[in-house]
Amino acid sequence: MKLVLASTSPRRRELLARIGVTPARIASPDIDETPLPRELPRDYVARLARGKALAVERGADEAVLAGDTTVAVGRRILEKPVDEADLRRMLALLSGRRHHVWSGVCVVGVDNKPRLRVADTIVAFKVLSAAEIDWYVECGEGMGKAGGYAIQGRAESFVRFLSGSHSNVVGLPLFETRTLLTSAGIPLG
């Protein structure tokens, strides 16, 4: 059986390699990622992961793995920043607060059955000074990242507390992913 990764994220490929998994091919699912009105972050990532997995065409001998990660402050979903001003707003919102990082992971096996898990990690940032926000915005690392930061980079120096899966915050919760791949009969390396 071959695995199709429904993501072009290099971080997800690197995380899969940690558990000995190399996708046979990469696909880029095209779905609308706009949150629905009053949609909770947990439901949002579950819907997107499932939608991405089902949007990818696959052969009879292929299984699909898809994931989606978001950062949430309360019920507020922080998507990817659209510009530097949006990134500054996000960092100011995260400053000195706990937030949740939610990831949905879905595997559709050769049996066509979608298997879904959701991971939640609590992260708390230190209080960020204006200079620290400037420093992080100027490095460019937060652009294109849910919540405006990459824990595997410079933003890790802002984290004063983490409860849950570190790999979830990077973009793919490995415990849940391994469980889903095993249940779908996908061999691990």
Strand partners, 72: 77, 100
54: enclosing H helix or E strand: helix 41-55
3-state secondary structure at position 97: coil
Rounded CA-CA distance 67/7 in Å is 8
Q: Which residues are catalytic?
A: 68
For β-strands 2-5 and 114-125, DSSP reports them as unpaired
Q: What is the dihedral of CA 71, 34, 13, 6, to 10 degrees?
A: 150
**CA separation for the pair 136, 130 (Å, rounded):** 10
Q: What single string gives the DSSP state of each residue in 143-154?
A: TTSGGG--TTTG
Burial of 188 (0-12, 13-18, 19+ CB in 10 A): exposed
Q: How many residues does the chain have?
A: 189
